[in-house]
Amino acid sequence: MATRFALFIALLAGALMPRLAPAEAEGTTPARLVGAAQCGSCHQAEARAWAAGPHGTATTGEATADARCVACHATGGGPASAERLPGVQCEACHGPGAAYSPADVMRNLPLARALGLRDLSSPAARAASCGACHRARTRVRPFDAERAWREFGHGPAADAAITPPHAGP
């Protein structure tokens, strides 16, 4: 059964690849990243909360120009990567979205996760994800991932939003 599922995922991923070519050819976003504007077209409340919060406002010219800062103050690859978007966009935490962002895929949570949507449903997963940037050497005080999730996540519906639009019928 696991082999059939893996084959299905591989075939599906191959079928989705042609969807990636136009964005790359037009130069709008790097091939695997879709950008916050596309995420926000479906997740409007989350996009508003993000834009007003610390991640939506984390970009400064200085932070994205300094190679030491880019890993956390940009989304995607490292300083020399063409696959990078400015700022701490959705995909910095949720993973590159080109394969899982189509609405029909997002309604199937196991499939979306198999195609790259990071599972942030547990406190341990959130702590690990947040800890990639919010580590001791960049902080004046210890970072509490759960407090930050409640305060700066995606607003009051953050915990409920982990699965519902993605779980679908």
Cα angle for residues 22, 25, 30 (degrees, 5° grid) = 90
Give the domain range for residue 18: 2-167
- Domains held by the chain: number: 1
Q: What is residue 111's predicted lDDT score, i.e. its pLDDT?
A: 95
Per-residue confidence in pLDDT tens, the chain, 169 aa: 555 554 455 445 554 443 433 333 334 445 689 999 999 999 888 888 888 888 887 765 555 566 677 778 878 765 556 677 888 899 989 999 999 999 999 999 999 999 999 998 888 998 898 888 887 666 667 888 888 887 776 655 555 555 444 444 4
| Residue carrying structure tokens 């341990």 | 124
Q: How far is CA 72 from CA 15, 116, 134, 144, in A?
A: 32, 19, 9, 17
Q: Whole-model pTM above 0.85?
A: no
- For residue range 107-124, list pLDDT tens digits in order: 999 999 999 999 988 889
